[in-house]
Amino acid sequence: MSAEVIERIRNIAIFSDFSGDPERLGKIAAKLKVRRHAAGSAIITEGEEGDTLFVLNAGSVRILRNTLAGDTFALVNLSADANVYFGEIALIDNDRRSATVTALTDCETLTLARKDYLDLCEEDPVIGYRLTFQLALKLGSALRKSNRDMITMYQALLEEIS
C-alpha cells in the first residue's frame, strides 16, 4: 500500500497507537481497500447488515437517522479533513447499521472488512489488541453519552409531567 495511505491512517484515531510504528501501519494499510462513492449515494444504510469499517479519505458525508415514525433527520456532516471513520462496530458485531451515511460530495473511503480485521488480529496480536482496545474506548464513550442523553430526556419528561 502506498506511503500516502500509511500517512493518512497515521492520523485516524483508531490507528493512533501505531503512529510511530511504520511496520504495523504498513500491515494495516495492506488490508485496506479503496472505494469511491458518488455524491448523493448511500455508503451505509440504516438497518442493513454490514461488516466494514470506513475511513473517510476524501470528500464529505452526512450521517442520518430514522425516527420511530420513519422520519429522517441529520445528525452531523463530516469531512475527511477531520480524520473520521465510521461503521467500526461492524468489525466486532453482526448487528444492523444504526445510521445511514450519505456522500455529500464525491468521496473516497479506505475500508477494512471484518474478515481482514480478524486476519490482522491473528497475524499480529499486538495490532489486534490495540485496535480492539480503541474500539472499546469508542464504545464506552458512546455508551456514556447515550446514558447522559437518556437521563436528560427523562428529567425533561418528569418536568413536563409535573
pLDDT at residue 38 in the model: 98
| pLDDT tens track for 130-157 | 999 999 999 898 889 888 988 998 888 8
Range of the domain at 14: 3-161
Please determine, for residue 1, whether its predicted confidence score (pLDDT) is greater than 70. no
pLDDT averaged over every residue in the chain: 92
Q: How many residues does the chain have?
A: 162
pLDDT at residue 69 in the model: 86
pLDDT at residue 157 in the model: 85
Q: Is the separation of the CB atoms in 36 and 106 below 8 Å?
A: yes
Average pLDDT over residues 82-109: 92
Q: Which residues have CB under 8 Å from 128's CB, separation 6+?
A: 120, 121, 122
pLDDT at residue 145 in the model: 87
pLDDT at residue 119 in the model: 96
pLDDT at residue 73 in the model: 84
70 pLDDT band (50/70/90 cuts)?
Answer: confident
71 pLDDT band (50/70/90 cuts)?
Answer: confident
CA distance 22 to 25: 5
HEC-encoded secondary structure of 109-154:
EEEEEHHHHHHHHHHCHHHHHHHHHHHHHHHHHHHHHHHHHHHHHH
Number of domains in the chain: 1
60 pLDDT band (50/70/90 cuts)?
Answer: very high
CATH code of the domain containing 47: 2.60.120.10
Average pLDDT over residues 45-72: 92
pLDDT at residue 3 in the model: 87
Quote the cell numbers at residue 65.
437517522
